[in-house]
Amino acid sequence: MIRIHGMSASGNCYKLQLLLAQLQRPYRWIEVDLLAGATRTPEFLARNPNGKVPLLELEDGRCLAESNAILCYLAEGSAFLPTDPWLRAQTLQWLFFEQYSHEPYVAVARFIARFLPPEHPRRAELPRLQERGHQALAVMERELATREFMVAAGYSIADIALYAYTHDAPAGGIGLADYPHLRAWLARVEAQPRFVAQGA
């Protein structure tokens, strides 16, 4: 059985829980205490030199890092990753958008606001993170005004990847009031068969 090394509070790890539930694929979850340095041990670094979770470990011990690369690998051959070259390219476009223009703001604002103490100096980063997070959500809003899911083919790993932190953006002080199409999309994602909420 495949194993996922992950931290339950992480949206990047939740992506895999959501996809695997929807694929109905069994896996073993290995909780990793990131904040206690568990990704910096020699054993973990041998599996992922970049010291991050989530990490997929195959039955034979081979490992794959990067949440969105793992999504692509696990979704191959399913309806969650289009086979048409252009639709597949669009899917990848949104996966890279998520990691470059969305997660570093929406996820980091959530982390600081939710997990760091009130007097922590990193709270000074919040206004800029929130501003950039809103920019990312505005891009999504514009897209979702024209179609039901991020890629025209329908619900895909692009939606899974972007749902993971978007649904919890308010925890980082990034409210969703100005994004009606995005909120309708969140509800459509949550209505998908075998959807599981984070922490469920």
Contact residues: a second copy, CB under 8 A: 49-50, 52, 62, 64-70, 72-73, 76, 85-86, 88-90, 92-93, 95-97, 99-101, 103-104, 139, 142-143
Q: Round the CA-based radius of gyration of the chain to a whole number and report it.
A: 17
Q: Which is nearer to a second copy, 32 or 151 (CB)?
A: 151
Contacts of 148 (CB under 8 A, 6+ apart): 154, 185, 188
**What is the nearest approach in angstroms of a second copy to the Cβ of residue 62?**
7
CA distance 143 to 145: 5
Instruction: Compute the least distance from the CB of residue 74 to a second copy, in Å.
Output: 9
Name the residue nearer to a second copy (CB basis): 132 or 167: 132
Q: Where are the beta strands (DSSP E) in the chain?
A: 3-6, 28-31, 55-57, 63-65
Q: Taking a C-beta distance cutoff of 8 angstroms, is the pair 126, 158 a contact?
A: no
Give the nearer residue to a second copy in terms of CB position, either 97 or 163: 97
Q: How far is the CB of 160 from a second copy (least distance, A)?
A: 15
Q: CA dihedral in degrees (8, 9, 13, 15; nearest 10)?
A: 110
Q: Which residue lies nearer to a second copy by CB, 35 or 89? A: 89
- The CB density around residue 148, as the number of other CB atoms within 10 Å, is 14
Under a CB-based contact definition with an 8 Å cutoff, are residues 3 and 28 in contact? Answer: yes
Nearest-approach distance from CB 191 to a second copy, in angstroms: 25
User: Which of 30, 55, 52 shows the shortest CA–CA distance to 107?
Assistant: 52
Residue number, 34 or 65, with CB nearest to a second copy: 65
Least distance to a second copy, CB of residue 48, Å: 9
